[in-house]
Amino acid sequence: MSRRFVTALSLFLLFMVSLTACTRNFSAMPQATPTLIPAEIASPLPNDPMALIAGTATAMAMGEAAPIPTLPFEFSTPTPIEIPTEIPTDQATPAPAEETPTPPFILITPPAEVPATPTNVLPTVPPQALTPGSLPTTYTLQEGEFPYCIARRFNVNPNELLQLNGLSDGMIYQPGLQLRIPQSGNPFPGDRALRPHPTTYTVEKANMTLYAVACLFGDVYPEAIAQANGLELSARLTVGQTLNIP
């Protein structure tokens, strides 16, 4: 029920009461006899319109101000939620870490090693692989060899070998000397073997070659000694090394 309606109704009731009061003689108001009303009836519901009208009219008749009814519910305006627009300092996005620059890769080429020139070393002559029984037309002397050793090994006459190459007995022969081998078929006079074999031999000098060991036995090929001992033909021997002589 609106307040305007209540006000209009109150004014109407007041007007009616005023008209009724004018028809009576001015005399003392008779005292009203109180009437007991049950509690259920005396206490109207707070939302009963008729009870509100009756209460308002009674109050106006007694010269009291009419109470303004109060709504049973109160509506509160919701408080807006403020959203922060700034990020707290402790939650700010950390700045990216600075990357350490990587130094450029520089390829350093080591200087080439210059082999030292050995002193007092005899020139190396590539060895000739010979098969026992074969007779080459030429042969190059290796370290530790001499013409008589070659005559025994190939079973040729040593005098023919010296004459064919313009050599004489008692000369000093250096490695690298190329010899022409006689093809006349005249054998070596006497016994070709200087030592009996098969046997073993203990190296007596440092850096001794298999060619020199073969010359000690006369009719043994250095290739056969290398094969019997699992060595390279150009191997350098050590003092005390034991060799199998086939």
Residues 67-126 have pLDDT tens digits of 454 444 454 555 555 655 555 445 545 555 666 555 454 555 544 554 444 333 334 445
Read off the pLDDT band of 143 (50, 70, 90). Answer: very high
Sign (positive or negative) of CA dihedral 159, 165, 171, 176: negative
What DSSP character marks residue 74? -
Asked if residue 156 and residue 60 are part of one domain, the reply reads: no
Residue 142 inside a domain? The answer is yes
Q: Count how many domains the chain has.
A: 2
Question: E strands within the chain?
Answer: 138-140, 178-180, 199-202, 208-209, 236-237, 242-245
Q: What is the pLDDT of residues 195-226, one digit of tens each?
A: 999 999 999 999 999 999 999 999 999 999 99
Give the domain extent around 55: 1-18+41-71
Residue 29 inside a domain? The answer is no
Could you count the other beta carbons within 10 Å of the beta carbon of residue 142?
A: 26
Beta bridge partners of 245: 199
Asked if residue 240 and residue 164 are part of one domain, the reply reads: yes
Read off the pLDDT band of 7 (50, 70, 90). Answer: confident
Structure tokens, 159: 């005098």
The answer to whether the predicted template modeling score (pTM) of the entire model surpasses 0.85 is no
Q: Quick one: pLDDT at residue 27?
A: 44
Residue 207 inside a domain? The answer is yes
Residue 113 inside a domain? The answer is no
Asked if residue 154 and residue 239 are part of one domain, the reply reads: yes
Residue 86 inside a domain? The answer is no
Q: Quick one: pLDDT at residue 78?
A: 54
Max CA separation in the chain (angstroms): 196
Helix, strand, coil percent content, the chain, rounded in steps of 5: 30, 5, 65
Residue 180 neighbours by CB under 8 Å, 6+ apart: 137, 138, 164, 165
Asked if residue 59 and residue 142 are part of one domain, the reply reads: no
CA proximity to 6, closest of 71, 74, 68? 68
Structure tokens, 148: 């008589």
